[in-house]
Structure 1
Amino acid sequence: MRSLLYFLGLLLLLWPPMAQTAPLNDDVLGLIVFKADIVDPFSKLASWNEDEDDPCAWTGVKCSPRSNRVTQLSLAGFSLSGRIGRGLLQLAALQTLDLSHNNFSGSLHPGLLQIASLRAFDLSDNNLSGMIADEFFDQCRSLRSLSLANNALSGEIPRSIGSCSTLAALNLSSNRLSGSLPKGLWSLFALRTLDLSDNALVGEIPKGASRLYNLRSIRLRGNRLTGRLPDDLGDFPLLRHLDFSANLLTGDLPESIRKLSLCRHLSLGSNLFAGEVPSWIGAMKNLEFLDLSSNRFSGRIPESIRACRSLKDLDLSGNSLTGNLPPWIFELGLRRFSASGNKLSGFIPGGDAAAGGRTLSYVDLSGNGFSGGVPPALGNLPSLRFLNLSRNSFSGSIPPALLGLETMEVLDIGMNKINGSIPVEIGKAVSLNVLSLEKNSLAGEIPAQIGNCSSLKSLILSQNNLTGSVPWTIANLTDLEIVDLSFNNLSGNLPKQLSNLAHLTSFNVSHNLFSGDLPAGNFFDTISPSSVSNNPDLCGSAVNRSCRTVLPKPIVLNPNSSTPSPNATLSSGDIRHKKIILSISALIAIGAATAIALGVITITILNMRVVQAASPGSRLAAAPALSDGYYSDSPTGDVASNKLVMFSGGDTVFTVGAHAVLNKDCELGRGGFGTVYKTNLQDGRPVVIKKLTVSSLVKSQADFERDVKKLGKLRHPNLVAMEGYYWTRSLQLLIYEYVSGGNLCKHLHECSNSSPFTWRERFHIILGIARSLDYLHRQNIIHYNLKASNILVDGSGEVKVGDYGLAKLLPMLDRYVLSSKIQSALGYMAPEFACQTVKITEKCDVYGFGVLALEIITGRRPVEYMEDDVVVLSDAVRIALEAGIVDELVDGRLGGKFPMEEVVPVVKLGLVCTSQVPSNRPSMSEVVHVLEMITCPQEHPDEELT
């Protein structure tokens, strides 16, 4: 029956669309033909039954009550995939078609807009690719809304777009569209919203805006548009939102913009605009958001901005502005204000001026030339959550009221000339996540009250003149991840309680006067020697200096004395009476010897059992593969739930048996989640086994298997494939393909050869990493654990990303557990991990990718500890880019053999990816798109990889 209906449907589709009076079953046939072309993994369309004559009760379908014809098909977010075929052309009365947020692929069918009644068309957030056919828009005269956003469409925007005369909303953002803006756009008089952002459009923005008198919103962000803004840009009388940021636009701003009296959002950041910030901006009374960041504006902050009484967000960062900070900045009622990375100087307004900013929650004035004291009035801002005054010339002491703000989450006053001590009021900052006071002249002791900062995640006090010991109260900060106390004059023993800080990922106390042994356990068992170096009296394995063993003085007990003396000795009478007199040390020795003997016996028995289990006749070593791919052990004890699953089926037996995961000789390395071993299957194929050592955190068996099987379905040429898993209640193994070429960290930082990779190979690695992350994000999987040691290179030079998705195997812990268990590599972790109120998204992976890209280009580690400084790679690259000396940072082992026209764009992309603000980072699909456009391999068919 199904095949017959499908055949009849295809026959019907060979004829032109039927009139409005066509039989009802035309809609049924059209929908069934459409369903036959797609994959419905969750059976969302189970109600679509070809035996019914009326589809109006089907899921996602709505009909007209008069004609009983289908007028609306809404299948958004149904996880459907496949290609969109011709079946929908039979829905002659269709007015709304919404297939957004699915996984449809292939190219756009050119006839989809031929349905005369169609008003709203949405295919956004799919995997559509290819070019938009020239004739696609030929039949769109009734269309009101069109969205093809977040796909992979390429080529130019067809000129026929001008035929859509009734179009009110057009969204083609986040694709791979190229070419210039078609002139036909400016003839769409009904257009209200236009979004072409995040593509690769080039050329200038043409004139003709005056004809789009209905336009409310225009977004062209993230393209390659050049030239000056058109003089008639202000002729959009109803415009409320204008975003031209992240392009290559130049010149000054046309004064006609002042006529946009209704405009609330004006974003022109990350371009090449120059000149002074125009004073006429004050005429835009309704502005709520103004972004002029990362341009070449100079001069002073214009006084006229204070007339924008509705302004909430003002970003002037990354320019060359000079002069003082106007006092009225704090009187505007702003929520967010950033002027970082300019040349501003003088004092920060204090007193009533600063106290007027009661709505301010975010202030960034870093990287300027401000001097004088930090105004105490800043501590009176009731909403302040983020304050960055770093990299200035502030002096004096820290205002106690500032450290005592209960709302403060991030406070950075590093790299100034601050002196005095750390106020004890720090104990009131109960919401503080990040405290950075490095590179100042602070003296005195670290106050014990810091132990009250229960939310603290990052504590940076390095390169000051602090003295005294580390207060034991720091051990109360159970969420602490990063501690840097290096380059001070701190002394005494490190509190033993520090070993209880389960989330620590970095603890640097180098270049101090600490003594005694290090805390034992957890993080401190694997602490880097560089983190504790240059402490002459510190001992322990990390500093390769043994600690003196202080044995107790033997105390001889006289059994005849009721009040034994510490100095009592054995008398001849005691000997004659054969009294048993033992020193405390002897008792301890006897007890220890007994314990050791019992331990040896226990270990011997266990080893005998392990050898027996690993013998050729043992069950795991010799059991045959079952037909369903599962291996079940005996039904007694813990092994009742034993299960070995190989996703590819076939031979599921290890040639060396169970002891492969117990044999030290097979060990490849250890990580935050467990130990990694290499072994072979019986067919000779090598595999890698990760033995999880976080069994207490692993989900239930059902949840564990569900998530592992999801990871096992992932297949991408740049991902390490998961081959299977092994489960018991007390042991979990993950089985991966074996990649023979070693990891990227080894190649970049440990290879002895002069040039581990050519430029073309490095670019190929960067692109491969980007493609794998884009693939993971499309599967709704965040990697969380990006670092060079998790990037493998196979024998053919192809990059393979590993250790992905392990967070899925744990219960829903907070991000700080994840950051300590997974994001263990300092330098790759996105800054939002330190802020509890910020959502962790795929943009964390984008940050880690940006760090990796810069690491691959420069051959340098993300964070380097020098003799008297700590160098963060992204900061060093950013400074080099601004100074025009990027070539000096490229890995010297390349010998100058690299094209600057490719290096510079990749460096810029890496820096954009490491933006402190997640929303400023691109998506990985955008990253892939940019990388693919930076170089075209077909242009270098015979070029040697240099």
Structure 2
Amino acid sequence: MGIATKGCLHFLIYLLISMDFSMGDDEASSIQLNDDVLGLIVFKSDIKDPFSYLQSWNEDDDSPCSWRFIKCNPNNGRVSEISLDGLGLSGKIGKGLQKLEYLKVLSLSRNNFSGTISRAFGVLNGLERLDLSYNSLSGSIPSSFVNMDSVRFLDLSGNSLSGSLPDNLFQSCSSLRFLSLAANSFEDQLPSSLYRCSYLNNLNLSKNHFSGDIDFVSGIWSMNRLRALDLSYNSFSGSVPDGVLALHYLKKLHLQSNGFSGPMPADIGLCSHLNSLDFSHNLFDGPLPNSLRRLNSLVLFGLSNNMFTSEFPPWIGNLSSLEYLDFSSNSFTGSLPLSIGNLRALKYLRLSNNKLVGSIPAGLFDLGLEYMDLSDNRFDGSIPRGSSSLFEALRNLDLSRNDHEGTIPAEMGLFADMRYLNLSWNKLQSRIPPELGLFPNLTVLDLRDNALSGDVPGDICESGSLVILQLDGNSLSGPIPDEIGNCSSLYSLTLSHNNLTGSIPKSISELTELKILKLEFNELSGEIPKELGLLENLLALNVSYNQLIGRLPAGGIFPSLDQSALQGNLGICSPLLKGPCKLNVPKPFFINPDAYNGQMGGHRRRNESAIPMRFHHRISLSVSAIVAISAGILIVTGVIIVSLLNVSVRRRLEFVETALESMCSSSTKSGSPPAGKFIMFNSKLSTHGIGNPEILLNKAAEIGEGVFGAVYKVPLRPQGRFVAIKKLATSNLIQYPDDFDREVRVLGKVRHPNLMSLEGYYWTPQIQLLITEYATNGNLQTKLHERSGSIPPLSWSNRFKIILGIAKGLAHLHHSFRPPIIHYNIKPSNILLDEDYNPKISDFGLARLLTKLEKHVIGNRFKSALGYVAPELACQNLRVNEKCDVFGFGVLILELVSGRRPVEYGEDNVVILSDHIRVSVEQGNALDCVDLSMGDYPDDEVFPMLKLALVCTSQIPSSRPSMAEVVQILQVIKTPVPQRMETL
């Protein structure tokens, strides 16, 4: 009998056995089949094995005990363990395994198995360990998919499982010791049966969508054998009461990135075995419990992004085992205790964005820290000189946004492994030490907005590793050194708002990786070197407010520069600029050299007023200047008069409106509730088609939900069109009708083809609704990540159209209003598409409706935008500007080009899309990141698009271009190649 024929016979006999047909003993013994062989062969038939790891699994063998990855019980010769971890297998987990009656261990982790979880596992009555982690399993968990009476270890983490956990899933779980459901999409509240698992040692429910209050006292706190509890990255809420003392064996407690509030449990310090404690990104408040001083075994301590108050704990030096300490973005006050220098094991220290004062203890700079961030506080005094331990270890130092004075220690040149140095926004008054150029690994040097003087050191890039150099807002003088061309790795060079003189050096053209060049507000003269037109990677350039003259370079970014990047110079030859075009000839003797500097005086940086001796510009008033001032006074006077008249008219209108409302309300029947205020901005749109919006919402179709509330699709009659109604979540919203009306009317005036038009609103004290236009093609999130198989993927032309449209919409918000309208929440679900796939940004300006944009509000409302949130928002730094929208826009570009989500959970790590693509671009593999499902695409558009996105997602806000610059760059990218060549 042939092998194939025998295999078919075995398979048919297996099917007969699995259907419970009975045979006589003689028949069964004559066939002499091994159930384990048949079960494993059937299991193998359902999967793909690209590397032939299972080649030894031969159906002609009498026993599988010699097969790879299989272990048998020596007493009965039956399969007891299958371990196929990380073999690149895919396919379904079939029913063949149910014949393995003596199976104890089944481990299939780190493969690509798909489909749903079968109930067949419940047949394996003796199964003790089941590991299906990091596969592609989907669907919900059956209530009895595994025998909980026998299972001790259950790991389903890193899949795409969803839905609620069945109420009776853990009805009998006395054997369970390890349970991990992390990195899935489970939702709703935890089943109460979970707390029956009183022998659990490790419980990990992180990175899901679980919600509701946790039953701590009679629930989790009663599971007193827990050693590790991880509930992080969910939507749990409520307070965490005392009772941690019951968890005698607890070593790890992670509650970060939820909505927990109130004080920390007072007895938490009595868990003497704790070595990892993370409560960050919640709403905890109040002082820290004194019992924390007892945690001598604590290695990781994270409390960032909460609302803790009181002085910085003086007992911190008692935690002698600490390696990681993060108290950033709270409201800690006082000074750092000297005892902090006792933390000899400390490697990571982050205390940024608090209210700490005083000088930095010198002992802190004696530690072997690798990462130190003390930014955004009120530290003063000089920067301590580091020890040899710090020189050898420190990689990241951020002391920005403090009040440090004095000099930059020359010893900093000894930091052999320094990668990031940020001393910006202080009061340092020294020259730039030339030793800073000796850092062999330094990639970011930020010394902006100090009082640094002298020239730019010629050897600032001696090491050749510098990527970002920011010296803006100082009193640097002299020429830009020719040696700047040695900074071969630079992609951002910003020297604006200084007193630099001389010409722009030609050597800048040697910086082939340069993407951002900012030289505005200096005293640079001469012509812009034509060689700068050869910088193919340059995406943003600003040379405004200097003394430059002559023709612009013909190539590169120069043909597409905006007027704002060139204005305020003596005579640059450009059709964008009015005034004379001056070539490089001697100046006429009657030109006042100080007139231009006086013109620039109103544009200087913030710390000019703080240090008046830094600038000594003479003021020269000509006849034309006097005429201009007189005209300005007349204009201002006219504006004031018109404004007073407008105020008077507005008050009269408000009086009439109030009177009408009073008349209407008095005519209502006694005891009936007052009608809401219903306003439509467009008089052509009748409100009769909507009726009472509150009643209409009961019948309307809900089409989405965002951080500001649910959205409904509503027919508008008799116009025969649809509108969208957003029911705002009332928490933290403006509650006074006049204030609400004023802010909404501002948003109602915002009109642009790429912005969702606000048509009107409805207000009562209990409910607030916004009426907007309706987009027929839904949102970008659905089209990109949640489309069904019948809907084709977005083509490159549509993706480019969407990117350009979003950029134009954001540019309108940022540059057409003062102050600019900042979105704060750019992500695909807030990008709607019309019938022609033109993008329309929704939810813009809704932050204006918040009573205040506090740090906990930001953290709570924008947690759903994980991956799109700019670092300055994620760190709860309220000193933000429109550059946070630029960051989210950059992530959107990466998402549209790659087709991937901004954050993906992989094996034992989290993959950040921007970091992944940045590495691919640096390694020359950029096009490997492109979403192939969109079909053909032009390389000369996709590649520069990726580079633009990486600039937009820079960790440093000032290194990101403005949205106006982004629009220019996109228009250059879209220009046909032959036309680009003509301009070079």
Relative to the length of structure 2, the TM-score reads 0.59
Give the partner amino acid of 2:315.
S
Q: State how far apart, in whole Å, the 1-side matches of 2:144 and 2:916 are.
A: 44
Q: 23, 26, 31: which one pairs with 2:35?
A: 26
> Alignment RMSD, CA only?
4.1
1:471-620 correspondence to structure 2 within 5 Å? 471-514=481-524, 515-518=526-529, 520=531, 524-525=535-536, 527=538, 530-537=541-548, 539=550, 540-541=552-553, 542=558, 545=573
Length, aligned pairs only: 637
TM norm structure 1: 0.61
Residue 349 (str. 1) matches residue 347 (str. 2): no
Query: In structure 2, the residue corresponding to 1:226 is in which secondary structure?
Result: strand
Match of 2:458 in 1: 448
Q: Distance in 1 between matches of 2:227 and 2:155?
A: 17
Q: How do 1:21-170 residues align onto structure 2 when only pairs under 5 Å count?
A: 25-137=34-146, 139-158=147-166, 159-170=168-179
Distance in 1 (alpha carbons) for counterparts of 2:544 and 2:102: 76
Task: Give CA-to-partner distance per residue, 1:252-286, whole Å, 9 cap, x none.
Answer: 11122121101100111111111012222101111
> Shift of the alpha carbon at 1:16?
10
C-alpha distance in 2 between matches for 1:779 and 1:278: 36
For 2:257, give the aligned amino acid: A
Contact 2:304 2:330 in 1 (8 A): yes
For the structure 1 residues 545 and 46, does the alpha-carbon distance in structure 2 shift closer, same or farther, using more than 3 Å as the test? farther
Partner in structure 2 of residue 13 of structure 1: 18
Choose which of 962, 971, 980 in structure 2 pairs with 1:864. Answer: 962
Partner of 2:636: none
**1:312–1:335 contact (8 Å) kept in structure 2:** yes
Q: CA 1:280–1:784 in structure 2 vs 1: closer, same or farther (change >3 Å)?
A: closer
Distance 2:426 2:265 in 1: 39
Cα deviation code 1:409-458 (max 9, x no counterpart): 21101112222211122233223221101122211101123132332221
| Equivalent residue number for residue 238 of structure 1 | 249
CA separation of 1:819/1:254 partners in 2, compared to 1, >3 Å: closer, same or farther?
A: farther
1:773 equivalent in alignment to 2:927: no
Alignment counterpart, residue 207 of structure 2, candidates 186, 198, 206: 198
* Candidates 934, 937, 947, aligned match of 1:823: 947
- SS of equivalent residue, structure 2 residue 460: helix
Deviations 1:871-903 (A, max 9, x none): xxxxxxxxxxxxxxxxxxxxxxxxxxxxxxxxx
CA 1:3–1:761: 2 relative to 1, 3 Å:
farther
- Residue 395, structure 1, aligned to residue 405, structure 2: yes
Q: CA deviation at 1:784?
A: 5.6
Asked if the contact 1:196/1:219 (under 8 Å) is kept, the reply is yes
| Counterpart secondary structure, 1:453 | coil
Are the structure 2 counterparts of residues 819 and 368 from structure 1 closer, same or farther at C-alpha, using a change threshold of 3 Å?
farther
Distance 1:862 1:504 in 2: 13
Sort the Cα spacing of 1:493 and 1:720 in 2 relative to 1 into closer, same or farther, 3 A. Answer: farther
Q: 1:494 to 1:775 in 2, by over 3 A?
A: closer
Pick from 794, 801, 822: which aligns with 1:743? 801
Aligned letter for 2:503? N
Q: Distance in 2 between matches of 1:505 and 1:391?
A: 26
Q: Kindly indicate whether the alpha-carbon contact (under 8 Å) linking 2:508 and 2:532 is maintained by their aligned counterparts in 1.
A: no
Aligned mates of 1:865, 1:108 — CA distance in 2: 47
How many angstroms does 1:28 deviate by? 1.3
User: Does structure 2 retain, via aligned residues, the 8 Å contact 1:149–1:175?
Assistant: yes
Give SS of 2:17's match. Answer: helix
Q: How does 1:794-813 map to 2 (within 5 A)?
A: 805=929
Displacement, 1:15? 3.1
Matched, 1:183 2:307: no
Does residue 276 of structure 2 align to residue 218 of structure 1? no
Query: How far does the alpha carbon of each residue in 1:771-825 deviate from its partner, in whole angstroms, 9 at most, with x for none?
Result: 93149969999966999xxxxxxxxxxxxxx9662699xxxxxxxxx99995344
Residue 739 of structure 1: SS of its match in structure 2? helix
The DSSP-based 3-state class of the residue aligned with 1:101 is: coil
Q: Which runs of 5+ in 2 are unaligned?
A: 559-565, 567-571, 575-581, 586-781, 788-793, 814-831, 833-837, 845-863, 866-888, 918-925, 933-941, 967-984
| Distance change (3 Å), C-alpha of 1:375 and 1:782 | closer
Structure 2: distance between partners of 1:319 and 1:136: 45
CA distance in 1, matches of 2:523, 2:413: 27
Query: Which residue type is aligned with residue 339 of structure 2?
Result: W
Question: Structure 2 CA distance, aligned partners of 1:455 and 1:16?
Answer: 74
Q: How does 1:767-916 map to 2 (within 5 A)?
A: 772-774=899-901, 805=929, 822-825=946-949, 827-829=951-953, 831=955, 863-864=961-962
* Matches of 2:141 and 2:302, distance apart in 1: 33
Shift of 1:753: 10
Shift of 1:3: 4.2
Structure 1 pair 16–300 and aligned structure 2 pair: CA distance change class (3 A): farther
Asked if 1:367 is matched to 2:372, the reply is no
Q: Deviations over 1:601-643 (max 9, x none)?
A: xxxxxxxxxxxxxxxxxxxxxxxxxxxxxxxxxxxxxxxxxxx
Aligned letter for 2:515? T
Q: Secondary structure at the match of 2:51?
A: coil
Contact 1:63/1:71 (8 A) holds in 2? yes
Higher RCO (CA 8 Å, separation ≥ 6 residues): 2
Going from structure 1 to structure 2, the CA distance change for 1:70 and 1:786 (only over 3 Å counts) comes to closer
User: Partners of 1:498 and 1:419 in 2: how far apart?
Assistant: 27
Do 1:300 and 1:323's aligned partners in 2 also have CA atoms closer than 8 Å?
yes
Q: Equivalents in 1 of 2:479, 2:390: separation in Å? A: 33
Shift in CA distance, 281/267, structure 1 to aligned 2, threshold 3 Å:
same
CA contact (8 A) 1:340 1:367 kept: yes
For 1:465, which of 454, 469, 475 is the aligned residue?
475
1:913-940 C-alpha deviation (Å, 9 max, x unpaired): xxxxxxxxxxxxxxxxxxxxxxxxxxxx
Q: Distance in 1 between matches of 2:902 and 2:35?
A: 38
Quickly say closer, same or farther: Cα 1:15–1:865, change in 2 above 3 A: closer
For residue 372 of structure 1, report the CA deviation from its aligned partner.
2.7
| Amino acid of the structure 1 residue aligned with 2:328 | S
- 1:317 is paired with a residue whose SS is coil
Query: How far off its partner does 1:830 sit?
Result: 5.3
- Counterpart of 1:410 (choices 406, 420, 431) is 420
Alignment correspondent of 1:434: 444
What SS class does the counterpart of residue 381 from structure 1 fall into?
helix
> 1:498 aligns to what SS in structure 2?
helix
1:119 deviates by 1.5
Amino acid at match of 1:29: L
CA contact (8 A) 1:235 1:256 kept: no
**1:228–1:769: structure 2 CA closer, same or farther, 3 Å change rule?**
farther
Counterparts of 2:898 and 2:510 in 1: how far apart (Å)?
39
Using the alignment, how far apart are the partners of 2:944 and 2:338 within structure 1? 42
The residue number in structure 2 matching 1:314 is 325
- Does residue 420 (structure 1) correspond to residue 447 (structure 2)? The answer is no
**Match for 1:773: what amino acid?**
R
Change (3 A) 1:331 1:471: farther
What CA distance in whole angstroms lies between the structure 2 residues aligned with 1:119 and 1:414? Answer: 57
Return the letter of the residue paired with 1:340. Answer: S
